[in-house]
Structure 1
Amino acid sequence: MAALGSPSHTFRGLLRELRYLSAATGRPYRDTAAYRYLVKAFRAHRVTSEKLCRAQHELHFQAATYLCLLRSIRKHVALHQEFHGKGERSVEESAGLVGLKLPHQPGGKGWEP
């Protein structure tokens, strides 16, 4: 995983993923238990006057890891919906999936000038 970045950036990313998840249910994301837990945890682990705040860094690392998991799951579902098997495809559909077009014969099959 790359550098962690700021805790507020991670927190906003987690809230964004919660919004994506709650959009399917139609329920506001602020009414979920996950939202309440995240807000409570981030408020409890704010930067304090301590020189080394190990718990705050640990929470940030766990939150960044969870954010990576949520993003990966969302991207996986999107890819699966786009490319999952739909049974037998025609040659034209298969060519279109990879960005190719079949040659067009003006007079149909067996046409000769």
Structure 2
Amino acid sequence: MATLSSPVRVCRGILKEIRAVQGLNYRQSLAYNYVMDQFRKNKVTGERYCRAQQEAHHAAQTYLCLLSSTRNHMILHNIYHGKGNRSTEQMAGVVGLRLPTQPGGKGWEK
């Protein structure tokens, strides 16, 4: 089983994803307030250590993974999804390839 990163790192990661979606005024959003309330509510003290806190941390880690994966998916979707008809050369360039040229210079290649 993989170890969980620290709760502060998870909280910062979630807030980073919220900021990426909402812009600079993300602190006034309901999502920001909800995340901060949940992290404050599930904070571990010296007197309290229970399975519920670990479950909340795991749920937060999973939510962070969902947010970052969704953002990465949208970036890739915008890059590679159809933007109309493209030529073969353009599509090869999108994936980092070049088409071969005719050796010998027959005169019809570009």
Q: Report the identity percentage.
A: 49
Deviation, structure 1 residue 41: 1.1
TM-score normalised by structure 2 residue count: 0.83
* 1:52 match: secondary structure: coil
Deviation string 1:3-49 (CA, Å, 9 cap, x unpaired) is 211100100100100110112xxx60100001111111111111122
Q: Give 5+ residue unaligned stretches, structure 1.
A: none
> Does residue 1:50 correspond to 2:47, yes or no?
yes
Q: Quote the residue 1:109 is aligned against.
A: 108
Amino acid aligned to 1:109: W
What is the CA-CA distance between 1:51 and the residue it aligns to? 5.6
Q: Unmatched 5+ residue regions in structure 2?
A: none
Residue 43 (structure 2) pairs with residue 10 (structure 1)? no
Deviation at 1:104, TM superposition (A): 7.2
Alignment of 1:1-113 (within 5 A): 2-23=2-23, 28-50=25-47, 52-102=49-99, 103=101, 108-109=107-108
In structure 1, give the amino acid aligned to 2:10: T
Coordinate RMSD, CA, aligned: 2.2
CA distance in 2: counterparts of 1:2 and 1:82, whole angstroms? 32
Bigger drift between 42-51 and 55-64 goes to 42-51
How many corresponding residue pairs? Answer: 107
